[in-house]
Structures are given as C-alpha cells and as structure tokens.
Chains A and B, each alone.
Chain A
Amino acid sequence: MKIHEYQAKELFRNHHIPVPEGYVATSPEDACAMAGRLGGFPVVVKAQIHAGGRGKGGGVKLARNLQEVQSAAAAILGRPLVTPQTGPQGKKVRKVLVEQGLDIAQELYFSIIPDRSTAKIMIIASRAGGMDIEEVAAKSPEKIIKVLINPLTGIEPGHCREIGAGLNLPDSLAEKFSTLVENLYRLFIEADCSLLEINPLVITAQETFVALDAKVEIDDNALFRQKDILKFRDIDEEDPLEVEASKYNLNYINLNGNVGNMVNGAGLAMATMDLIKSAGAEPANFLDVGGGADAGMVENGFRIILSDSNVKAVLINIFGGILRCDVLAEGVVQAARKTGIKVPVVIRLQGTNVEKGREILAASGLQLITAADLNDAAGKIAEIARN
C-alpha cells in the first residue's frame, strides 16, 4: 500500500527521524494559513499524490512570501499533475504539504528495501542525492553503497559505520548518522515497509540530518497487523473500479485495453492476458477471482468487468481446481441475468465439474460463446478483435 509523503513524515516523526516542520492544506487560503505557522520564508509547497517525479511535473514550488504561497498552491491544487510516473492523464492533486525551507549543505540518497534474492534487508545510500537513483546505478554504480542486514539479528553499529564511511561523512556526524539509520531501520521493520526511500536526505548548514522527502510503501500482506497505517489508505488515489473490486476481495487491475477477462489464479490470469494480446487485442484488466471464489464473487467480478465502457468482449478462462466449474457457471449466469450482456463473451472451462458447468451455461439460454480449449478461445477472441 502506498501512502502520502506527509503521512510517511508522520511515521518518521514518531520514530525520531528529523523532518522539516510542515502542514497539510487543501486550498490556497489554507496553504497561506499553514505557511504562517512556520518559522519564516522561504517555504516549499509540495503536491501530495501517490507518484514520484513530482518536481519534474511542476508539483513542488518554492515560495518566498504569502503571495507566492497562494499562487503556488492555486497552481497545484485541484488539477491533474503529470509526472514521469503518472501516465499522460496525470493524477488530480487534492492536498499540498507546506513545509519550512532549509539551509542545505549536502544532499544524499537513502533507502531500505527487502532484497528478495538474498532474503536480507538492503540499505542503499549514495552521495548522489536528489537524482534518479536508477540512473545513478546505471551510469556510475561505484557511487552506490549497499549493505545487507539479516532480519534475524538486526542492525548493528558496524552496518551504520560502513554506510557512513561509504558516504564519506565526517567523524563529527558519525553518531548522529548511526542514530538516524537505526531509527529508520526500526521504522522499516515495525511498519512492515516494502519500501522506505528518502531522496534527498539532507545535511543542513547546522550539521543536522533532515529527511526532505519521504516515500514509504507498506507490504500488503502485513496490513492485518498495521491497523494504524491502514488508516492512511487514500481511495481517491486508487482506480474506482479497483476500489469496488477490493470490497469483494477480488484481485482486479484496470488496464487500457478492450478485452475484459476473468481467470482463476494469478499466473493463469497473466498468461490469459498475454494470449489476448497475441490474438491481436489488448487486455482491459487483470482479474484473478482466486481459488476459493463463490458464485457471488464471480458475479461481482463479471459486473465490474462489464462496467468498464472500453470493454468490447470478455474472455472467461477457468481451470477448475478448488473453484468448481459449476460454481463459476452459476455466477456468470446470475451476473448476466442481472446486468445483461451487450458484448460477446467467450467462456473456456476446464477441470473440476466441467460437464456440470457447461450444462448450466447451455441451459441458461444466454448468448455465450464456448471454447473447447485455450487455443480455441484465443482463436475466437482474435476473430472478434478483427471485426
């Protein structure tokens, strides 16, 4: 789960990680009031959306007086912000963070991620702060320091010294830096982060560390034990159909194509999308109804697919294991009766109770196109795509 910068900074404050003083505002007037609570100018007005590269899209503005705060907030709020990560349509900005400007001496890069291949926690740091770290990694990998930590034994003083030395930090900052890194590591563990990134982490003219930016993502699998962080979920940032699907525990992702699809199992769902693409069409979604789906979940999944106005055809591909074909068939028939089907629907069933499932579909009197196997289904989708 993604959270906003201002929410990540709240977590930072709770873990004694220094951040600039700042307040959230939802209107230009509000932004001016918040700027007034800070200790003077300049201040920074930052768009709060779930996407990176905000500076490049004009979502971060410096203001030297109240008038500039007003115009910066007015320019950012209520409009879509287009960044390299949002796609061309951008993301609507509903909140800005108004923050104290700082006297910056140096900018660093710092992040913590779970490293899947070693099963260790990886701290990544670089003196090349404020830049795109993937670019730095590609062009000058020697500028990047990586340290692996065993989650069973946790962070040790040696880890912090190794990173500090790699960053060429002066001895006078060593202790402050160790405390900072330990606090960040503790937050990463306690909040079940899947990403914690600070770019830039600044050293101020007063020789203190401050997290100027904060990007935190939480492991979805761990949300059951992160109730406080779950409150940070902002459904305005999510696709409305995906929000709707999540109410029924459906694993749905809205895409730009025109052939909807419903599959059981994530791997088969991806492979089915690939099949649609190689048939000359584009998948409109990813939808894994899961192994334990009941007729109600199937019905809701089908309804959500059909409510996407781009969808010109639907492919249902079920390999019945735990999810029986007759249950799937009943769900499809229910949904079709309630919402009506205005587009061609190709159904391929295989596995547990497949005969019973096919009988239910045939007896329904609905105009469904059945496919004998996956290859047949791909051919039928290709035929529809051509017309």
Chain B
Amino acid sequence: MAIFVDKETRLLVQGITGREGQFHARQCIEYGTRVVAGVTPGKGGQNMDDVPVFNSVKEAVRETGANCSMIFVPPAFAAKAIMEAIDGDVDIIVAITEGIPVLDMMRIKNYLNGKQVRLIGPNCPGIITPGQCKIGIMPAFIHKPGGPIGVVSRSGTLTYEVVHQLTTKGIGQTTCLGIGGDPVNGTNFIDCLKAFEEDPETKGIVLVGEIGGTAEEEAAAYIAEKVSKPVVGFVAGLSAPPGRRMGHAGAIVSGKTGTAQSKIAVMKEAGIHVCDNLGRFGDFCAGVF
C-alpha cells in the first residue's frame, strides 16, 4: 500500500522533450515507473527513447490511458500546462516547476475547486513510493521500500536529508512527497496526513515544515484531532530574519507570523514529536517509531 501513486500509475510527462524533462523522465523509467507518454505541443508523433510524444494531454490520455501527469514546463507556460492537465482527465498532477507567479497559482487553485483531480506542488521534488514508482526529481537510492513511515515536506533537499537518515537507521518508507515551497500550492499537509492515516501500511508520519504561512499550524490542529499514528515534525528557519524570502517564495516571516518558533510550539502542543537537531533526526525517529 501507499498513498496517491503506486506501480499501477501510468505517467505522462509534460515537457518531456526539454533538457530537464528528458533527464528526469529517463530517471523515472529506470526506477521502474510506467512512463507511457510525453506531451510537447508541436512535437506530436516523435518519440523520446521509447516513449511516444503527443501534442496535447487529452490526446495522450486517450491513446495511452495515462492517469498521472508530471510537469516540467518553464514558469511562464506552467500555469497553462497545469490547466491543460486539469482539463485532460488525469487523476494526479505533479508540478515540479519552480517560479510560477502567485497570481497564476491562485487562479489554478480556484479552478481546481470542486474537481476530483489532485495537484501536488508546484515547486516540489515530486512523489515516490519506494520500490514501486518515482514521479519527480529526488535521488532514488536514498529510499528504502516497504514502509512503515510516510514522509511529507514543503522542501526538496531537506526531505532527502530526512529520508536518508531514516534509511540509514533501517527505517523504510511507504510514500514520500514534497508539497512544494510556494505560498499557494495544490495538495496540502492535511490531505497527506488524512491519506497516511487511512493507509494501513503507514505506521508513522514525518512532517517537515518551514517558516511562512500557517500550513504547519493547520496540520497540527488536524493531527491533534484526527491522526492516531505517531508524527515526528521538523521546522526549518529558526535563524531566519523577518521580512526576507528564504529561497522558497513561500518561506517568509511576515511581522510576527510564520516564525519557526511559533510553529514548533503549536506542533508540540498538538502532540507532535518535534526534532530540534537535524543532525540526529534518524536517531530521534528510531526512538519515536
């Protein structure tokens, strides 16, 4: 078991003929992901290795039965690509692209309202169910298949660090995903917590947050009320100065809100085991799980 994606997932890649799209599509195929189609407008009829390329998502879905799209389209065109995927009848969209304007993402978020499709990201490393499928840019070898831990994070490399330490301690993962570092994104912490809670193979959850916004506070309230499995938390940005965007568009302390200190306090109050030393994260998890 896993959440959102598994070995049955049929992936199409929007932007498969670009440098990054091509590189990562190949990495996903090598991991065992069923990459069934690529989409690049104007390049329909070509092939990327053995993967057929189509002009539109609709066509790719109709011809190949793809049910998930991974997006590598540059920021200026990414919103259109996501809209096309929403209208193209896939179940899950994983948007890797970093740098999409906030206004575009707000429009997409409102457009998603009431629809069944799930958007993961943007500005995220993607999602991996170790041993089954990888949809994203994360290094595969750091993961350990078989569970029992689910990992959800707002970050990329910080997630790799956390996962690597879990694996080093012999703790495997069910599914690991990044929900992205932008202020407005698709899937949020709560969606993932709900799915991990319902997944019988997931016995514990790791939640990695950072400064900015209120996603961690909302997650903490949800955990206190609805999550029975143990949760280990980490929040990056204790030393971040207010008013500065720390790399991620969403990572900013505004006035007194969004600080790591306040998030950690709320998370501890909700019963989350918050680790305050990233260097010993693996040991900390071994103790809790």
A interface with B by C-beta (< 8 Å): 85, 114, 116-117, 119-121, 134, 150-152, 189, 192, 194, 219-222, 224-225, 251, 253, 255, 263-271, 273-278, 282-283, 286, 288, 291-292, 319-322, 350-352, 373-378
Contact B278–A219 (Cβ < 8 Å): no
Nearest A residue (CB) for B283: A375
A134–B257 alpha-carbon span in the complex (Å): 11
B residues within 8 A CB of A288? 247
Q: How far is the CA of A278 from the CA of B278 in the complex (A)?
A: 10
Assuming the contacts A219-B103, A265-B156, A267-B157, asked whether A377 and B164 have C-beta atoms less than 8 A apart, the reply is no
Contact with A along B224-252 (1 / 0, CB 8 A): 00000000001011111101111111110
Provide a sorted-by-A list of 22 A–B residue pairs whose CB atoms are within 8 angstroms. Answer: A116-B250, A119-B109, A119-B184, A152-B111, A219-B101, A221-B101, A221-B249, A225-B101, A266-B181, A268-B157, A269-B246, A269-B247, A270-B158, A271-B158, A274-B238, A274-B278, A276-B239, A278-B277, A286-B244, A374-B278, A378-B277, A378-B279
The B interface, classified by DSSP as helix, strand, loop or mixed, is: loop
A78 to chain B, nearest CB (A): 26
Contact status of A319 and B255, CB under 8 A, knowing A221-B101, A267-B158: no
Q: Residue on A with the closest CB to B247?
A: A266
Find out whether the CB atom of A268 lies under 8 angstroms from the CB atom of B161: yes
Extra pairs beyond A255-B241, A271-B161 (13, CB < 8 Å): A114-B102, A219-B102, A221-B99, A224-B76, A225-B101, A251-B247, A264-B157, A265-B156, A267-B158, A267-B247, A270-B246, A270-B251, A377-B279
Nearest CB of A to B28, in Å:
13
Count of residues in B whose CB is under 8 Å from the partner chain: 62
Docked CA distance A273–B240 (Å): 8
Tell me whether B183 and A291 are in contact (CB under 8 A). Answer: no
B138 at the interface (CB under 8 A from A): yes
List chain B residues, Cβ under 8 A from A321: 125, 137-139, 156-157, 160
On whether A277 and B239 interact (CB within 8 A), knowing A251-B247, A319-B164, the answer reads yes
Interface positions, chain B 85-122, Cβ under 8 Å from A, are: 99-103, 105-107, 109-111
| B132 interfacial by beta-carbon distance below 8 Å | no
The reply to whether B103 and A189 contact each other, CB–CB distance below 8 Å, is yes
Name which residue of chain A comes closest to B164, CB basis. Answer: A350
Q: Give chain A nearest CB distance to B234 CB in angstroms.
A: 8
**With an 8 A cutoff between CB atoms, is B142 at the interface?**
yes
- Smallest Cβ-Cβ distance to A194: which chain B residue: B102
Asked whether B210 is an interface residue with its Cβ less than 8 Å from the other chain, the reply is: yes
Q: Evaluate contact between A221 and B102: CB separation under 8 angstroms.
A: yes
Complex CA–CA separation, A20 to B277 (angstroms) = 54
| A311 shortest CB reach to chain B, Å | 16
A255 to chain B, nearest CB (A): 7
How far is B213's CA from A114's CA once the two chains are assembled, in angstroms? 12
Please name all residues of chain A whose beta carbon is closer than 8 Å to the beta carbon of B153 when the two chains form the complex.
267
Give the distance to chain A from B183, nearest Cβ to Cβ, in Å: 4
A320 & B249 in contact (Cβ 8 Å cutoff): no
Instruction: Check if B246 sits within 8 Å of A274, measured CB to CB.
Output: no
Question: In the bound complex, how far is the Cα of B20 from the Cα of A283, in angstroms?
Answer: 32
Give A381 Cβ to nearest chain B Cβ, in Å.
10
Instruction: For A121, list chain B residues within 8 Å (CB).
Output: 106
Are A265 and B279 also in contact (CB < 8 A) when A116-B183, A152-B107, A351-B142 are?
Answer: no
B155 interface contact, C-beta 8 A: yes
Closest Cβ of chain B to A325, distance in Å, is 11
- Bound-state Cα–Cα, A83 to B201, Å: 55
B184 x A114 contact (CB < 8 A): yes
Query: Which residue in B100, B255, B278 is a CB contact (below 8 Å) of A221?
Result: B100
Contact A266 B101 (CB under 8 A): no
A286 to B245, CA, bound (A): 10
Judging by beta carbons under 8 Å apart, are A192 and B101 in contact? yes
Q: Which residues of chain A are within 8 angstroms of B184 by Cβ–Cβ distance?
A: 114, 116, 119
Which residue of chain A is the closest to B278 with respect to CB atoms? A271
Cβ–Cβ < 8 Å partners of B33 in chain A: none
